[in-house]
Amino acid sequence: MALASAIAIEEPGATSVRREVLLLERQGANANRPIPIGACCVAATSLKEDVCFNNGQSGHCVPASVNNCGTTLTCIEDSRLTCNAAVLERGRPSCRLTTSQQMLGSKGKLGRCANSEKVPKQQETLGTLFSE
C-alpha cells in the first residue's frame, strides 16, 4: 500500500492577496472576469486595464513585453505604471508601463514623470542624457 502526502508552503502575504482578490471578485471589479495573480493576465479573457495582482501588489493588465507573456496582456504593478486620467479605457484611466525614458528625469537623474505630456517625443540615447 502506497501512502502519499503533500504540504503547501505559502509565501508571506499570499493570504492577504488572496483575500483582496476574493473581495474584488465579489465586487465585480473586472466585470465578473477572473482577477489574474502573477506576471501574465488570463489569455483570451483579461482586457486592458483589468485589475490584477503581481508580486503581492495590485496592478493592471496592460500591453507590455516585459514578463515573457507573449501576446497575452501583462500584469504590471501600479507603482510601475504611468496613467493618464484624461484618457479612459474600459471606464478606467489609461495606464502603461513607465519606460526607462520616462523614469530618467532631467540631467539623467531617476524620477517619475507626473505628466506623460512632459516626456520628450524624440528618442534619446542614455549617452546623451548623461552628457549634459
Per-residue pLDDT of the chain (132 residues; tens, 9 = 90+): 666 656 555 566 667 778 888 888 788 889 889 999 999 999 999 999 999 999 889 999 999 988 899 999 999 999 999 999 999 998 889 999 998 744 444 344 444 434 333 333 333 333 433 443
- The model's pTM is 0.63
Quote the CA–CA distance of 131 and 51 in Å, as a whole number.
40
Cell triple for residue 115? 505628466
Cell triple for residue 54? 503581481
E strands, the chain, where? 51-54, 57-62, 74-77, 81-89, 92-97
CB count, 10 Å around CB of 59?
23
